[in-house]
Amino acid sequence: MYYTSTSAEGKGSFLMGKKIAFIGLGHMGSPMAANLVKAGHRVSGFDLAPEALEEARAQGIEVAESAAAAAAGADVVITMLPAGRHVLGAYQGENGLLAVAGPGTLFLDCSTIAVEDARAAHGLAAAAGHRALDAPVSGGVGGAANGTLTFMAGGGAEDFAEAGPVLAAMGGRIVHCGGPGAGQAAKVCNNMILGVSMIAVSEAFVLGEKLGLTNEALFDVASAASGQCWALTTNCPVPGPVPGSPANRGYQPGFAGVLMAKDLGLAVQAIESTGAQARLGSLAEEIYRHFAEGDGSGQDFSGIINDIRANSSVEALA
Ligand code: NAD
């Protein structure tokens, strides 16, 4: 189910101009919070990093002196933090977000975290008398700045309807994926497709090069044939065919290889806990983990093609 501004269940259920606490004002959080301000919300933000606070202030976000101070009296508390331990850590404790927020506050966690952690966060929020959605995003820093993120939400239908106008101020597509954790489940599955498909596209280009095929020829065929996918036609790993892809700017992210490695790590955690067979997903995690720990640490995830090329034998087919 999608949220649209005309969704009957969302209409009039949540007036604009509410007080929103925004915890985690990094690469994603800062522009997301700025879009909430532009939409007329009063945003009180907090981050542990002083430089993030400075950037947020410049964007018109009120800066609180602590996460607890931001959350006190808020209607909605949004977290955009690196990993599950940060979210669960921020939620809990005497001065934690759940303890200081007023009864029935709506908690939206937009971080990418493990499905199990998201379910634990839902449980803690419910036990403290609050409402919660997991609402991870795709679309990267560009989508955060332009307000075109895709939100994948997990939680109750009423809470989703109420969160809709807030999420719509930061995103272009808002999807209700199911109950607690379903947003993170959709995110992890989507990114497993992306990681595997980027490796497949990169291997095909390297094999094509070895076979004497130009990158342009392979692109012209595969982009209009059954090999077509986002990794090929939008984030093409070779320079040339798609002028906007990171390959044309020295593999500057884009979507960093370290984030792909992180997301595939969450996929593997889910694969292991569910027993699903996902051999390619598991292998993709291994490949991206090595990439992120090595040359690829500062690169876009499409830079994996350089590892694949470097690990291929020098012999080309005449
Ligand atoms: P980031 O590292 O730039 O920002 C995270 C911020 O959280 C940092 O500024 C850090 O100081 C702050 N922080 C950590 N613990 C805190 C705490 N307890 N209280 C307050 N602030 C705290 O990361 P990001 O790129 O903004 O990503 C945030 C989340 O979004 C991650 O879960 C990531 O996987 C996900 N994500 C990122 C992208 C992307 O392209 N960057 C895309 C989709 C999803």
pLDDT of the residue at 48: 98
* DSSP conformation class of 96: S
pLDDT in tens, 21-55: 999 999 999 999 999 999 999 999 999 999 999 99
Pick the CATH number of 185-310 from 1.10.10.10, 3.40.50.12160, 1.10.10.1100, 1.10.1040.10: 1.10.1040.10
Topology (CATH) of 2-179: Rossmann fold (3.40.50)
pLDDT per position as a tens digit, 82-102: 999 999 999 999 999 999 999
Predicted local confidence at residue 210, as pLDDT: 97
Q: pLDDT of 92-134, one tens digit each? A: 999 999 999 999 999 999 999 999 999 999 999 999 999 999 9
Any idea where the domains of the chain sit in the sequence? 2-179, 185-310
CB-CB contact of 175 with 185 (8 Å) = no
Can you tell me the distance from the alpha carbon of 73 to that of 267, in angstroms, rounded to the nearest whole number?
36
Task: Tell which residue, 204, 193, 228, has the closest CA to residue 312.
Answer: 204
In this structure, what are the phi and psi dihedrals at residue 147, rounded to the nearest 5 degrees? Answer: 70, 30
What's the pLDDT band for 8 if we cut at 50, 70, 90?
Answer: very low
Q: For 257-293, how does the pLDDT look when each residue is reduced to its tens digit (9 = 90+)?
A: 999 999 999 999 999 999 999 999 999 999 999 999 9
Of 131, 62, 119, 55, nearest to 88 by C-alpha is 119
262 tagged catalytic:
no
Nearest CA to 230 out of 186, 205, 197 is that of: 197
CA 94 to CA 279: how far, in whole Å?
Answer: 43
Please provide the average confidence, as pLDDT, over all residues in the chain.
94
Asked if residues 154 and 184 have their Cβ atoms less than 8 Å apart, the reply is: yes
Q: Residue 111 C-alpha to ligand 1 middle, in angstroms?
A: 7
Instruction: Name the residue of 55, 80, 146 to mutate for ligand 1: max ligand atoms within 8 A of Cβ.
Output: 80
**CB neighbours (10 Å) of residue 252?**
13
CA of 183 from ligand 1 middle (Å) equals: 17
Could you give the CA distance from residue 29 to residue 141 in angstroms, rounded to a whole number? 9
Mean pLDDT (whole number) for 156-163:
97
Model confidence pTM above 0.85: yes
**Residue owning the nearest CA to atom 7 of ligand 1:** 24
Cβ(39)–Cβ(202) under 8 Å? no
Place of tokens 């303890």: 99
Of ligand 1's listed atoms, the one at least distance from the Cα of 255 is 40
pLDDT value at residue 16: 63
Q: Cα(222)–Cα(150) distance, rounded to whole angstroms?
A: 27
Per CATH, 2-179 and 185-310 having the same topology is answered: no
Q: Ligand 1 in contact with 229 (CB < 6 A)?
A: no
Annotated catalytic residue within 11, 38, 187, 262: 187
